[in-house]
C-alpha cells in the first residue's frame, strides 16, 4: 500500500510539473513561433512521431520475438530434432499451434542436419546454396547471431512480403540444430505507417544497417530503394547510419525544398526509424493553426503521459512477476523460495519457534512425458500445482524447486504435523479428478528446523528424506530427524 501511495504521489507530481511546464512553453512559443518553427519541429514534433512509431512497432514485434525465443529453447522441439526428426506431422502440428495461437502469418523450422524447411503445412522443401531464396539461412548461420529479423517474400504463403524473426536453435552442448522462427505480415506494418502518415502528415519509414528500406507505407519500394542512392537524403545517409548511439535531428535539400528529418537506431530490430517533414507544409500549417496546435499538443501530452504511466506500471508488474514466479506453473520459483526460506529462518532465529519443509517429487514423471508428450507433462505440472494450492493456508509458501520437484514451507509446523500434511497431499493427488488422465503419485521428504540447523542443513535433510521415500517404494512421506 505504501508503495502504491508513493507511486501515485510521484505520478501526481510529474503531472503537476509537466502540464504547467507545457502550458508555459506553449504560451512562450506562441510569441516566438515564427522564429522557432524549425527547432520545434526537429526537437519536438518529429521525435514524438518517431517515438510513437518506435513504441508501436516494438510492441507489435515483442510477441513474435518472445515466441521465437521460446521456440528455440522448447524441449519438445530440441528432443524431436535430436531424436532424428521422426514423424514430420509432430513438427507440423507444433508449428501450426504456434501460428494459430499468436496469429502469426507463418511459422517454420529449418534443420541444420537435413536442410529440410518445415512449415505449419509440412515439409516445404530442402534448402540449398544454389537457391537465391535460401541465402538468408546461410547468411544468418555464418553471422553467429542468436536472433535476426529479415524482410522477405514467404514462399509458403504465395510470396507474401513478411518480416521473419529467425532464432538459432542449439543443443545443450552448443551444437547447431537449425533455425526456428515466425513471420509477421509486412502489410500490417505498412498499414501502420500509412495511418501515421495520414494522421500526422509525416513520412515514416525504416531502413536496415546498409540503408536499404525495410518498412514503408509504399510496399513497392521495400528492399528496392536505398537511402544511399535516393536524391537529397543520399548526402546525409552516412550520418544517419553512423548515429547508432544517439538520435539524429537534421535536414537535407529535397527536390522542392528543405526536408526536416529525425532518426533513431532500434537495437532489437537493427533498423533505423526515419521521420521526415516537408518544411514548407509545416510552416503553412503552423501559421494557420497555431492555437489549435497548442491545444492538440497539450491534450496529446496528457494522453501520452497517462499512457506511459500505464505501460510502465504494466511492464514493472511483469518484471516483478517474472523475477519471482515460475513461467509455466505461475507459482513461486526457486529464487523466491530461497527468499522465503531465509525470511522464515531469520524469524525463527530472532523469536524462536520452528517450521517444516516438504520436498515433493512427482513419481515416474518421465513416463508421463514419454507416453503423452511434453505438452501433456506441462499440463500435469500445472494441474498438480493448482491442486496443491487449493489445500494450502495463506501463510504457507509453495513453489517449484526445479523440474518436477516442488518445495512447501510450513511456518510454525513441527515435523510430525508436516508428515500429516504430506499424507493429506498424497491422498488429494491420488484421488484428484483433475489428474485422472495420468497415473500420478508423489513422494515427499519432510524435515523440521532444529536449533543448530542452517538453511543448507535443513534442505539437505529434506532431500535425504525424499531420497528415502523414493528408495522405499515411492508414494509415501518420510520424516528425516
Number of neighbouring beta carbons within 10 Å of residue 140: 20
Dihedral angle over CA of 396, 397, 402, 403, nearest 10: 50
| Structure confidence at residue 464 (pLDDT) | 95
Name 427's Cβ contacts closer than 8 Å, sequence gap at least 6.
none
Per-residue pLDDT tens for 129-139? 999 889 999 99
Name 127's Cβ contacts closer than 8 Å, sequence gap at least 6.
110, 115, 116, 117, 134, 137
Position 462 confidence tier, pLDDT thresholds 50, 70, 90: very high
The mean pLDDT value of the chain amounts to 85
Position 471 confidence tier, pLDDT thresholds 50, 70, 90: very high
How far apart, in whole angstroms, are the C-alpha atoms of residue 256 and residue 393?
A: 74
Domain edges within the chain: 2-64+201-320, 73-187, 334-480
The answer to whether residues 110 and 137 touch, using CB atoms and an 8 Å cutoff, is yes
Residue carrying the nine cell digits 509415501? 476
The answer to whether residues 250 and 275 touch, using CB atoms and an 8 Å cutoff, is no
The answer to whether residues 267 and 235 touch, using CB atoms and an 8 Å cutoff, is no
273 φ, ψ (degrees, to nearest 5): -100, 130
With b meaning 16 or more CB within 10 Å and e meaning fewer, what string describes 213-229? bbbbbebeebbebbbee
Classify 73-187 by CATH class: alpha beta
Per-residue pLDDT tens for 53-108? 888 888 888 899 999 999 999 999 999 999 999 999 999 999 999 999 999 999 99
Q: 225: helix, coil or strand? A: coil
| Structure confidence at residue 162 (pLDDT) | 86
Q: Among candidates 314, 429, 407, which has minimal Cα distance to 363? A: 429
**CATH H-level superfamily of 2-64+201-320:** PAS domain (3.30.450.20)
Using the predicted structure, report yes or no on whether residue 3 has a pLDDT greater than 60.
no
Q: In what order do the strands lie in the sheet with 271-278?
A: 213-215, 203-208, 271-278, 258-266, 248-253
The answer to whether residues 193 and 203 touch, using CB atoms and an 8 Å cutoff, is no
Q: 2-64+201-320 and 73-187: same fold? A: yes
The answer to whether residues 235 and 252 touch, using CB atoms and an 8 Å cutoff, is yes
How far apart, in whole angstroms, are the C-alpha atoms of residue 135 and residue 180?
A: 15
398: number of CA atoms within 13 Å, CB side? 18
Using the predicted structure, report yes or no on whether residue 193 has a pLDDT greater than 90.
no
How far apart, in whole angstroms, are the C-alpha atoms of residue 100 and residue 92?
A: 12
**CATH H-level superfamily of 334-480:** Reverse transcriptase/Diguanylate cyclase domain (3.30.70.270)
Amino acid at each position: 500500500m505504501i508503495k502504491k501511495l508513493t507511486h501515485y504521489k510521484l505520478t501526481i507530481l510529474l503531472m503537476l510539473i509537466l502540464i504547467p511546464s507545457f502550458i508555459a512553453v506553449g504560451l512562450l512559443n506562441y510569441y516566438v513561433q515564427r522564429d522557432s518553427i524549425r527547432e520545434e519541429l526537429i526537437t519536438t514534433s518529429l521525435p514524438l512521431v518517431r517515438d510513437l512509431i518506435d513504441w508501436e512497432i516494438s510492441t507489435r514485434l515483442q510477441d513474435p520475438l518472445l515466441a521465437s525465443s521460446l521456440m528455440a529453447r522448447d524441449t519438445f522441439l530440441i528432443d524431436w530434432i535430436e531424436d532424428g526428426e521422426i514423424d514430420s506431422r509432430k513438427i507440423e502440428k507444433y508449428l501450426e499451434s504456434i501460428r494459430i495461437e499468436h496469429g502469426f502469418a507463418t511459422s517454420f523450422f529449418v534443420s541444420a542436419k537435413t536442410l529440410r524447411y518445415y512449415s505449419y503445412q509440412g515439409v516445404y522443401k530442402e534448402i540449398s546454396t544454389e537457391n537465391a531464396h535460401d541465402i538468408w539461412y546461410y547468411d544468418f548461420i555464418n553471422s553467429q547471431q542468436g536472433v535476426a529479423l529479415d524482410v522477405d517474400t514467404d514462399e509458403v504463403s504465395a510470396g507474401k512480403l513478411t518480416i521473419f524473426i529467425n532464432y538459432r536453435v542449439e543443443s545443450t552442448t552448443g551444437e547447431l540444430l537449425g533455425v526456428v522462427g515466425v513471420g509477421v505480415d509486412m502489410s500490417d506494418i505498412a498499414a501502420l505507417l500509412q495511418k501515421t502518415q495520414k494522421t500526422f502528415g509525416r513520412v515514416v519509414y525504416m531502413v536496415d544497417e546498409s540503408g536499404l528500406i525495410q518498412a514503408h507505407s509504399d510496399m513497392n519500394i521495400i528492399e528496392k530503394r536505398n537511402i544511399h542512392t535516393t536524391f537529397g537524403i543520399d548526402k546525409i545517409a552516412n550520418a544517419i547510419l553512423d548515429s547508432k548511439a544517439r538520435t539524429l535531428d537534421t535536414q537535407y535539400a529535397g527536390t522542392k525544398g528543405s526536408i526536416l528529418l529525425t532518426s533513431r537506431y532500434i537495437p532489437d530490430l537493427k533498423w533505423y526509424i526515419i521521420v521526415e517533414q516537408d518544411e514548407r507544409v509545416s510552416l503553412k500549417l503552423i501559421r494557420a493553426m497555431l492555437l489549435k496546435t497548442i491545444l492538440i499538443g497539450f491534450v496529446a501530452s496528457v494522453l501520452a503521459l497517462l499512457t506511459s504511466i500505464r505501460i510502465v506500471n504494466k511492464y514493472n508488474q511483469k518484471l516483478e512477476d517474472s523475477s519471482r514466479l515460475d513461467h509455466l506453473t505461475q507459482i513461486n520459483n526457486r529464487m523466491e523460495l530461497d527468499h522465503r526460506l531465509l525470511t522464515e529462518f531469520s524469524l525463527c532465529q530472532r523469536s524462536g519457534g520452528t517450521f517444516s519443509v516438504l520436498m515433493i517429487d512427482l513419481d515416474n514423471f518421465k513416463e508421463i512425458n514419454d507416453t503423452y508428450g511434453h505438452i501433456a507433462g506441462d499440463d500435469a505440472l500445472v494441474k498438480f500445482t493448482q491442486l496443491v494450492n487449493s489445500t494450502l493456508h495463506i501463510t504457507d509458501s509453495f513453489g517449484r524447486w526445479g523440474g518436477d520437484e516442488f518445495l512447501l514451507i510450513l511456518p510454525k509446523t513441527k515435523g510430525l504435523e508436516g508428515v500429516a500434511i504430506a499424507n493429506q497431499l498424497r491422498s488429494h493427488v491420488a484421488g484428484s479428478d483433475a489428474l485422472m488422465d495420468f497415473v500420478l503419485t508423489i513422494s515427499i521428504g519432510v524435515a523440521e528446523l532444529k536449533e543448530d540447523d542452517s538453511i543448507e542443513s535443513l534442505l539437505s535433510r529434506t532431500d535425504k528424506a525424499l531420497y528415502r521415500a523414493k528408495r522405499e517404494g515411492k508414494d509415501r512421506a518420510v520424516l528425516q530427524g
